[in-house]
C-alpha cells in the first residue's frame, strides 16, 4: 500500500447517536477527499438506515461516562431525549446535519451503503424497512469482497 | 511556500498546490489548475461552483463545505461529485484559487 488511502469500508455496529455519528463523519469525510467509501450497518447500527427509526436515534444517557452525569439521573424518563435534543442543537450550529439528512448526503456522495444480512435476518427486517440509499443486504463474505484493497474501520 | 508558473503567470502556492493569495487568481489559472486535476474542459456547471466558492470566500473568509455547497450553490451534491470526483469542496477551492476548506462535514 502507498502513502495515501484510496478506499475505506466503515462498519457501524451501534445504534446510539454517539455510536453512529463517527462512522458517518468518517465516510462523508472520505468522499470529500476523493476516497472511495463503503458503509456497512450491522446489529443495532441498522437503526441508522431503518426508515422509521433513524429519526429517533438517541444519546445513551445511562452507562455513558462521557455524559458527565450520574447514571441514576440518566434513568429518569426523558433524560435521553433531553440530552439528544441538546446535542442536536449544538451539532447543527457546527454544520453537522441530523441523521436522516446525513444519510441522504452520504448517499449523494456516491458512498456504498449496505446492511448486514445476519443482523437483518435476526431482527426480521426486509429491504423495504430501510431508506432508499441502502444499495443491498449483503453477507459478511460479500462485505469483504466490497472492502478488498482498502482499509476497514469498525465502529 | 513556493512560486509556480500557472498559465504563464507566477503565483504563490502552498505545498498542496493551493494559491496562497486569492487575488493572484485568473480564469486562465483556473483552466490550467483544472487540467492538472484531469478536469478538462471546465463546463458552465463547473464555473457556477468555482464562482460560488470565490464569492463565499470573499464574504466569509473561508470556502464552503460540500454540504453548504449542495444547499446554496444551486448545484446538488450528486452533481458536485460528478463535476469534481476527487472531492468537490477541496478541488473546487483549489481551482478557484482559495484556501482548502477545513470543515469536517
Q: Please, what are the averages of pLDDT over each run of 10 residues along chain B (105 residues)?
A: 89 93 95 95 96 95 92 95 95 96 82
Q: Which residues are registered as beta bridge partners of A12?
A: A41
By CA distance, what is A96's nearest residue in B?
Answer: B105
How would CATH label the architecture of A7-56+98-154? 3-Layer(aba) Sandwich (3.40)
* C-alpha distances in Å from residue B91, one per residue of A15, A109, A114, B87: 34, 14, 28, 6
The domains of chain B are located at 2-96
Alpha-helix runs per DSSP H in A63-155: 71-74, 79-93, 99-108, 117-123, 140-147
ipTM of predicted assembly, 2 dp:
0.89
The domains of chain A are located at 7-56+98-154
pLDDT of res. A149: 95
Interface touch A108/B81, C-beta < 8 Å: yes
CATH class of the domain whose range is B2-96: mainly alpha
Enumerate the residues of chain B whose CB falls inside 8 A of the CB of residue A110. 78, 81
C-alpha cell recorded at residue A144: 469483504
> Rounded to an integer, what distance in angstroms lies between the CA atom of residue A37 and that of residue A46?
18
Strand intervals (E) in A82-155: 112-116, 136-138, 151-154
> Rounded to an integer, what distance in angstroms lies between the CA atom of residue A29 and that of residue A105?
11
Numbers of helices and strands, H then E, in chain B = 5, 2
pLDDT of res. A2: 66
pLDDT of res. B61: 92
> What's the whole-number mean pLDDT along residues A67-90?
86
The shortest C-alpha distance from A21 to chain B (Å) reads 11
> Rounded to an integer, what distance in angstroms lies between the CA atom of residue B102 and that of residue A58?
28
Interface touch A95/B78, C-beta < 8 Å: no
Interface touch B77/A96, C-beta < 8 Å: no
Amino acid at each position: 500500500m502507498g502513502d495515501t488511502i484510496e478506499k475505506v469500508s466503515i462498519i457501524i455496529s451501534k445504534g446510539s447517536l454517539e455510536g453512529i455519528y463517527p462512522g458517518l463523519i468518517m465516510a462523508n469525510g472520505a468522499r470529500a477527499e476523493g476516497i472511495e467509501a463503503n458503509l456497512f450497518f450491522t446489529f443495532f447500527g441498522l437503526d441508522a438506515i431503518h426508515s422509521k427509526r433513524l429519526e429517533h436515534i438517541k444519546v445513551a444517557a445511562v452507562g455513558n461516562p462521557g455524559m458527565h452525569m450520574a447514571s441514576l439521573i440518566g434513568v429518569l424518563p426523558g433524560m435521553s431525549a433531553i440530552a439528544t435534543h441538546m446535542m442536536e442543537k449544538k451539532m447543527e450550529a457546527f454544520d453537522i446535519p441530523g441523521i436522516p439528512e446525513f444519510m441522504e448526503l452520504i448517499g449523494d456522495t456516491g458512498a456504498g451503503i449496505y446492511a448486514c444480512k445476519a443482523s437483518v435476518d435476526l431482527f426480521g427486517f426486509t429491504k423495504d424497512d430501510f431508506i432508499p440509499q441502502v444499495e443491498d443486504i449483503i453477507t459478511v463474505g460479500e462485505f469483504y469482497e466490497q472492502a478488498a484493497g482498502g482499509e476497514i474501520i469498525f465502529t | 511556500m513556493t512560486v509556480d508558473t500557472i498559465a504563464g503567470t507566477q503565483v504563490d502556492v502552498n505545498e498542496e498546490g493551493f494559491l496562497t493569495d486569492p487575488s493572484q487568481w485568473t480564469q486562465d489559472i483556473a483552466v490550467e489548475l483544472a487540467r492538472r486535476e484531469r478536469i478538462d474542459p471546465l463546463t458552465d456547471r463547473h464555473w457556477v461552483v468555482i464562482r460560488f466558492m470565490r464569492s463565499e470566500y470573499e464574504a466569509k473568509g473561508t470556502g464552503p463545505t460540500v454540504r453548504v455547497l449542495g444547499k446554496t450553490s444551486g448545484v446538488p451534491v450528486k452533481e458536485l461529485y460528478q463535476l469534481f470526483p476527487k472531492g468537490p469542496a477541496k478541488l473546487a477551492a483549489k481551482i478557484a484559487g482559495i484556501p482548502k476548506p477545513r470543515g469536517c462535514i
